[in-house]
Amino acid sequence: MQITMSSAAGLQVAKLEGRLDTATAPQAETTLLPAIAAPGLVLDLTAVRYVSSAGLRLLLKLAKEAKGKGAKFALAGLQPAVREVFEISGFDKIIPAFATLDEATAG
Amino acid sequence: MTATLSLHLPPTTDSVTALLEALEAFTDEHELPIKAASRLMLLAEELAANVVMHGTGATFFQADLALEGGVLRFSLTDDGPAFDPLAADEADTEAALEDREVGGLGVHFVRKLASSAAYSRQGDKNHLALTLDAAAE
């Protein structure tokens, strides 16, 4: 799991690459949890081909942290297999997800 | 023709990674569509993580995979105490963010994504067998 931090439209952007699973979620959490702050953080998942429930657990934790801090939290670029997991788990109803990074930072 | 994969691993987080790497290599080699590959990896990880993370006392888990006639047959065997993951409570996927927990998603994924799932206790081992559509795109 590679994580590259940048910023766009005043928000922090974390670009994730690889698998977000049991093995990589703890390491990703160490980087991403402290990055949650107003105005907000967008995760670019364009290069993530696989998310397991360990990855979903991290997304939920980040979303709750953002809500507690009054920060925006959104996802961008979910690949079809990732989107399927996201929808089946009902996460599409609780975490905003956008097709592109531009939409996520604007939305 | 049947293509198969079999792994016998200690119950550690590294083994879950090794399993995922092996499954990814298998699905690449046999050119499975990404959604079929992703579903297989997701379910395999859920089931293996059940054995590994909950410190059940299992001394190993064994993963077996066969691809035949457009169907993936995956099974996981371990020597932990009798445990049927299919009998676990399902997550409430309608809950609001504040109330949402991530427990129970594994069994939810199995029910939604596998074509069939069956648990059996075989001697002193747990055996969970899944079938998946190998053509899911």
pLDDT over 70 at A65, yes or no:
yes
pLDDT of residue A30: 97
Question: What homologous superfamily does CATH list for B3-133?
Answer: Histidine kinase-like ATPase, C-terminal domain (3.30.565.10)
Instruction: Tokens for B30, please give them.
Output: 């046999």
Cα–Cα distance measured from residue B40 to residue A82, given in angstroms and rounded to the nearest whole number: 13
Q: Can you give the pTM of this predicted structure?
A: 0.86
The count of CB pairs under 8 A between chains A and B is 82
Tell me which CATH code domain A2-106 carries: 3.30.750.24
Give residue limits of the domains in chain A. Answer: 2-106
Shortest distance, CA B107 to any CA of chain A (angstroms): 11
Distance from C-alpha of A37 to C-alpha of A102, rounded to nearest angstrom: 19
Select the residue of B13, B94, B109 nearest A23 (Cβ to Cβ).
B13
Token pair belonging to B102: 């991530």
Residue A56 in contact with residue B45, Cβ under 8 Å? no
Q: What is the ipTM of this complex?
A: 0.78
Query: For all residues of chain A together, what is the average pLDDT?
Result: 94
The reported pLDDT for the residue numbered B107 is: 84
Largest CA distance in chain B: 50
For residue range B83-107, what is the model confidence (pLDDT) as tens digits?
898 887 777 888 888 777 766 788 8
Handedness of CA B110, B115, B121, B123 (dihedral sign): negative
Q: What are B19-53's pLDDT values in tens digits?
A: 999 999 999 999 999 889 999 999 999 899 888 87
User: Which of A52, A62, A65, A83 best tests the B interface by mutation, with the highest count of B CBs <10 A?
Assistant: A52
Higher pLDDT: B114 or B57? It is: B114
Strand extents, DSSP E, chain A? 2-8, 11-20, 40-51, 72-76, 97-98
Q: How many residues belong to chain B?
A: 137
Phi/psi for B95 (5° steps) reads -65, 150
How confident is the model at residue B55, as a pLDDT?
A: 65
Q: Cβ–Cβ of B16/A22 closer than 8 Å?
A: yes
> What residue type is B21 in one-letter code?
E
Contact B79, B110 (CB under 8 A): no
Nearest to A95 by CA among A51, A31, A49: A51
